[in-house]
Amino acid sequence: MNWFTQLSDVLKLLPAIITAIKAIEEAIPGSGKGEEKLAAIRAIMEAANGQIGLYWPLIQTAIGILVGLFNKTGVFVKA
């Protein structure tokens, strides 16, 4: 699978990834629990599709970028 296909597939998942990030943050607000939140998103995604592991490095990077953006722009308010 080439990089463009991987990128395209992950971009298609972005709305679901953003929804998952916001749902986890709403359920477990605050800082210091990022690893647990990330693990929960991965487990949920893998439960839905066992092939997600192929994309996980790119998804994990996207999640990190999005969480950083949400923190910087005030979408997530630090407790």
Give 32-79 pLDDT, tens digit per residue: 899 999 999 999 999 999 889 889 999 999 999 999 999 999 888 776
Rg (CA), the chain: 13
User: What gap in Å lies between CA 59 and CA 42, rounded to an integer?
Assistant: 9
52 within 8 A of 16, measured Cβ to Cβ: no
CA distance between the termini of the chain: 41
3-state secondary structure of 45: helix
Find out whether 68 and 19 touch, Cβ atoms under 8 Å: no
pLDDT at 79 (0 to 100): 61
Q: Which two tokens stand for residue 18?
A: 């953003």
Residue 76 confidence (pLDDT): 85
pLDDT at 3 over 90: no
